[in-house]
Each structure stands twice: as C-alpha cells, then as structure tokens.
C-alpha cells in the first residue's frame, strides 16, 4: 500500500504572470477550488494520505489552505457557506501534510529529489497539480488506477496520453511495447523532442516512482532546458527494474497553460456548478 504522495510545487508559473507574482500557481482556482486541492483529493481517494509538498519562496498560501483558519470558520459556521469548507476539512482530518523547499529552480527532477527527506525509502506517488485529472464517471481517479498497475508490476509507472504530433515537442515522449491494451513496457523516452518524436505518447503529471529514483536523480546532470529532468532518471530505470507507461482512463487539463486552465474552468463549471450559488466543485466525474 503506497501512502506517500509528493507534490512538486516550487515552479514560478511564469505563464500566469502577473497573477503568479504574488499567488502560487497551485492556488489558482478552477471555479472556487485551488488546483492543488483537486490533486490532494485525487491522492487521498487513492489512499495516499501522507501528502509531501515541495515549495519555494512565496508559496505560504498552500500551507495556509491545509491549516485551520478560526476567523473564517467562525464567519461561515451555521451559514449556507459552511459546506464550502467541508472537503478541505475532510482532507485536513484524513491526511498529514509535510513541506520542504527546493532551494533553486533546477527542474522537476531536482524538485522530486528535494522531496527525498519527506518520502524516505518507499515507493511513492507524484502529482503535478497543474495537470488537473478527472476519472471517468463513477470510476477510479488516475492515481488509483496507477496503483492497481503498480501492484501487478512493482516498478515505476508513468501516466501517458496521446497528443497531436505537432505538440510532442512540449512533452516527455515514450516509446515501447504494448503488453496489454493501453499498457506499455517503456523502451525509450525523450524529453521535449526537437526533431521527429518516437511516438505521440506524452508523459503527463502523474507518476508512481520506486525510491531508487533518488540515487538516479543525484547522478543525473542537467538536461533539456538546463534543468534536471525526471525523464533522464526514469530512462536509467528502464533496464533496471523497468518502467511501465499507462494510458489512463479519464481526462487531463493542462492548467499550466492559459488555454487548458480556461478549458478546465468551463468543464468544471458546467459539470459541477450549474447555478450561480457557490458550491463545492465535485471530485472526478462522480456527480455528473
């Protein structure tokens, strides 16, 4: 049973300036719920209740979200707005939250390595909160689906989705052998391919990683874009334990981009917030 889930959340979110000058990207709301809360709900629903968050300067608002705020609580208690805090309160009851800082923005691989003291020597989930994922109606979320695959294969699992060929240069791209429908034994991966991509299977922001990844990351020099890339460390795992890529069932919104953020907002508004009165945007597609 994997209990720990790491949230690298130290990035600057420059695509959302000026908002991200003073608000962490992970706190931008889709309807009225911050992006990071959607991710923590997905992890908690998969039984990963030890939440480890890698932050940086100016990210205090994330810690405040998952902490008591007696003044606000007193203001809404007994009113019709009390229910808006229900889900956040449930997470605070059922999860533990720990934080560490990434000292320099040296890339996702370095952010994951910064989380090692919070994770230790056990397999763990990773969620990039700006990839907002929702499972199919009434079904498991993406992390819960990935856990089932981990239980069969006991190696690192990465979530993938097909992207248009002209977009492959924005992603880590995998190629491999399809061992079951939608499940690939990875043979190669390349971060943001400049020329022809080996496939159109793009890595998205959900991983289950085995803890040997930390030693591999320590030995990984900066790669594409001068950043320490998680794909480079995962490449070393291909011949050493193996890596499985999983075409998840559900939908992903790239909320790190303005286009994906607006798409997600429209989707969650129309599925979960059909009226003007504030309400709790639902989890996954379960209330659709």
Question: Which residues, in sequence order, are CB contacts of 71 under 8 Å at separation 6+?
Answer: none
Examine residue 52 and tell whether it contacts ligand UTP (CB under 6 A): no
279 contacts ligand UTP (rule: CB under 6 A): no
Are the CB atoms for 216 and 233 separated by under 8 Å?
yes
Distance CA 79, CA 32 (A): 17
Site string for ligand UTP, 233-262 (x = CB under 6 A): -----------------------x------
Q: Which two tokens stand for residue 28?
A: 């931008």
**30-38, 60-68, 125-133, 229-237 -> range binding ligand UTP (CB under 6 A):** 125-133
The rounded Cα 60 to chain-centroid distance in angstroms is 19
Q: Which listed range, 11-19, 39-47, 77-85, 177-185, lies at the site for ligand UTP (CB under 6 A)?
A: 11-19
Under rule CB under 6 A, residue 281 binds ligand UTP: no
Q: Specify the residue, 108 or 183, whose C-beta has the smaller distance to ligand UTP.
A: 108
Q: How many other C-beta atoms are found inside a 10 Å radius of the C-beta of residue 79?
A: 9
Instruction: Give the angle subtended at the CA of 239 by the CAs of 234 and 243, to the nearest 5°.
Output: 45
Would you say 10 or 183 has its CB closer to ligand UTP?
A: 10
Q: Which two tokens stand for residue 129?
A: 């909160």
Which is it for strands 156-162 and 201-209: parallel, antiparallel or unpaired? Answer: antiparallel
Task: Figure out which of the listed residues 65, 111, 160, 201 binds ligand UTP, where binding follows CB under 6 A.
Answer: 111
Tokens of 152: 């069969």
Tokens encoding 246: 């999983």
Number of residues in contact with ligand UTP under rule CB under 6 A:
21
Which lies closer to ligand UTP via its Cβ, residue 191 or residue 285?
Answer: 191
Six token digits for residue 206: 């959900």
Which residue in 2, 6, 9, 213 binds ligand UTP (CB under 6 A)? 9
Which lies closer to ligand UTP via its Cβ, residue 27 or residue 54?
54
Asked if 159 contacts 206 with a C-beta cutoff of 8 angstroms, the reply is: yes
Structure tokens at 277: 């009165």
Rounded to an integer, what distance in angstroms lies between the CA atom of residue 134 and that of residue 77? 30
From 4, 25, 33, 235, residue interacting with ligand UTP (rule: CB under 6 A): 25
| Per CB under 6 A, 11 contacts ligand UTP | yes
Q: Of the listed pieces 12-20, 143-151, 168-176, 206-214, which binds ligand UTP according to CB under 6 A? A: 12-20
Of 244, 248, 235, 231, the C-alpha closest to 176 is 244
3-class SS of residue 70: helix
Query: In the window 187-206, what residues touch ligand UTP (CB under 6 A)?
Result: none
**Out of 41, 50, 87, 130, which residue is the one contacting ligand UTP (CB under 6 A)?**
130
Residues 81-110 that bind ligand UTP (CB under 6 A): 102, 105-108, 110
Positions touching ligand UTP (CB under 6 A) are 8-15, 25, 54, 102, 105-108, 110-111, 128-130, 256
């Amino acid at each position: 049973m994997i209990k720990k889930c790491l949230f690298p959340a130290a990035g600057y979110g420059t695509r959302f300036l000026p908002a991200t000058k003073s608000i962490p990207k992970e706190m931008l709301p889709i309807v009225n719920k911050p992006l990071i809360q959607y991710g923590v709900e997905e992890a908690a629903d998969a039984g990963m209740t030890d939440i480890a968050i890698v932050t940086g300067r100016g990210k205090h608002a994330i810690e405040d979200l998952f902490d008591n705020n007696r003044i606000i609580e007193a203001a809404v208690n007994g009113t019709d707005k009390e229910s808006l805090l229900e889900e956040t309160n449930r997470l605070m009851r059922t999860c533990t939250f720990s934080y560490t800082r990434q000292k320099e923005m040296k890339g996702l691989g370095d952010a994951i390595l910064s989380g090692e003291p919070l994770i230790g020597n056990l397999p763990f989930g990773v969620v990039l909160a700006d990839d907002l994922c929702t499972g199919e109606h009434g079904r498991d979320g993406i992390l819960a689906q990935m856990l089932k695959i981990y239980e069969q294969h006991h190696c690192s699992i990465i979530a993938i989705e097909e992207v248009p060929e002209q977009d492959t240069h924005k992603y880590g791209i995998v190629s491999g052998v399809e061992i079951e429908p939608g499940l690939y034994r990875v043979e190669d991966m390349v971060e943001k391919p400049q020329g022809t991509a080996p496939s159109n299977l793009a890595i998205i922001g959900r991983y289950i990683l085995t803890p040997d990844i930390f030693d591999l990351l320590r030995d990984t020099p900066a790669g594409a874009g001068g950043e320490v890339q998680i794909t480079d460390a995962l490449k070393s795992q291909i011949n050493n334990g193996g890596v499985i890529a999983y075409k998840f069932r559900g939908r992903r919104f790239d909320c790190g981009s303005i286009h994906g953020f607006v798409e997600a907002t429209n989707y969650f508004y129309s599925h979960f917030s059909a009226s003007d009165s504030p309400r709790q945007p639902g989890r996954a597609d379960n209330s659709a």
